[in-house]
Structure 1
Amino acid sequence: MKVTLKALRVMKEMTQKEVAKELGISKDTWSSYERGKTFPDVPVIEKIEELFDVKYSDIIFYHKLAVKPQLDKQTA
């Protein structure tokens, strides 16, 4: 089953601050990962796998498209 970082955190009943502390990163960094703004490096991914007992291949890192669709200027 594929799951987002936020879902992993919520299922474990942890706050962003708690997860960040466990991983040795800032809360803002974890928040950026959850929102798909940045991507964790390999050492952090390994810690995420261990903390949540999940494989890398089962994690959805980017769950939203970063690009918003453009409206046709003629219809706007």
Structure 2
Amino acid sequence: MVITLRAARVNSGMTLMRASSSLGINKDTLSRYERDSADIPRSLLVNIQRLYGVNGDNIFFGCESEFFRTRKMYELIEGG
């Protein structure tokens, strides 16, 4: 199952402050990547995977709103 970067953080039980501190970045930077992870640096991605305990193949990379828009479209297709 593919989830957003924000969902991966929440599922790992971490707050935005704690995760950003552990990653050595500003909370606003992490929040920005959670909204749009299309340009996340590879080194940060590797650290996030380790910290959250999630495989990168299970994280959606791109604009978070696009993830939800696409998911809603699939739900409509499957439901109707």
* TM norm structure 1: 0.74
- Could you say which structure has the higher strand fraction? 1
- Could you say which structure has the higher helix fraction? 2
CA distance in 2, matches of 1:53, 1:12: 7
User: Are the aligned partners of 2:12 and 2:53 in contact in 1 as well (CA < 8 Å)?
Assistant: no
Structure number with larger C-alpha Rg: 1
Matched ranges for 1:1-76 at <5 A: 1-36=1-36, 39-62=39-62, 63-65=64-66
CA distance in 2, matches of 1:26, 1:9: 15
User: Are the aligned partners of 2:3 and 2:60 in contact in 1 as well (CA < 8 Å)?
Assistant: yes
User: Are the aligned partners of 1:49 and 1:56 in contact in 2 as well (CA < 8 Å)?
Assistant: yes
Number of aligned residue pairs: 65
Distance 1:38 1:51, change over 3 A: same
* TM norm structure 2: 0.70
